C-alpha cells in the first residue's frame, strides 16, 4: 500500500506459490482464506501454484503453461485433462472427479 492508501482500494491480489513449503493443513487454511477474500470481498486472486489438485479445487479459471507459452486455459475441467498433463508435464496421469465437489483430481503414474 502506498502512502495515499491506494492499496486499500486495490481489488487484485497477485501471489506466487503461496502454499509452497506448507503442511497440508496450512495449505488448506491459506487457500480457504483466499477463497473467502474472493467470494466475500470480490477480490480478484491471481496465483501461480503447482499443486494441481488444489488449483483445480479452488480456481474458477486455470491456465496451463509450458516453457512460457499458454497451452490451455479455462475451467478446471477443461484444463486438467489427461492430454494436457501429458503435454505440459510429460507425465502419465488419470484425471478423476472428486465425489465431494465434482472437481478434477490428478493421479500421477509415471514420467513419459
**Residue 62 burial (CB < 10 Å; 0-12/13-18/19+)?**
buried
Please give the model's pTM, rounded to 2 decimal places. Answer: 0.86
Q: What are the distances in angstroms from CA 95 to CA 41, 58, 89?
A: 32, 16, 14
pLDDT exceeds cutoff 50 at 4:
no
The chain-wide mean pLDDT, for the chain, equals: 94
Question: What pLDDT, in 10s, does the model give residues 79-108?
Answer: 999 999 999 999 999 999 999 999 999 999
> Cell numbers 467470494 label which residue?
39
Amino acid at each position: 500500500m502506498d502512502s495515499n492508501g491506494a492499496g486499500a482500494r486495490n481489488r487484485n491480489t497477485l501471489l506466487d506459490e503461496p502454499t509452497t513449503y506448507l503442511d497440508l493443513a496450512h495449505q488448506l487454511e491459506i487457500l480457504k482464506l483466499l477463497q473467502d477474500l474472493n467470494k466475500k470481498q470480490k477480490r480478484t486472486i491471481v496465483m501461480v501454484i503447482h499443486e494441481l489438485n488444489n488449483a483445480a479445487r479452488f480456481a474458477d479459471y486455470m491456465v496451463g503453461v509450458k516453457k512460457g507459452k499458454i497451452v490451455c486455459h479455462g475451467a478446471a475441467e477443461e484444463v486438467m485433462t489427461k492430454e494436457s498433463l501429458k503435454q505440459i508435464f510429460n507425465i502419465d496421469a488419470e484425471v478423476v472427479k472428486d465425489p465431494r465437489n465434482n472437481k478434477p483430481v490428478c493421479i500421477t503414474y509415471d514420467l513419459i
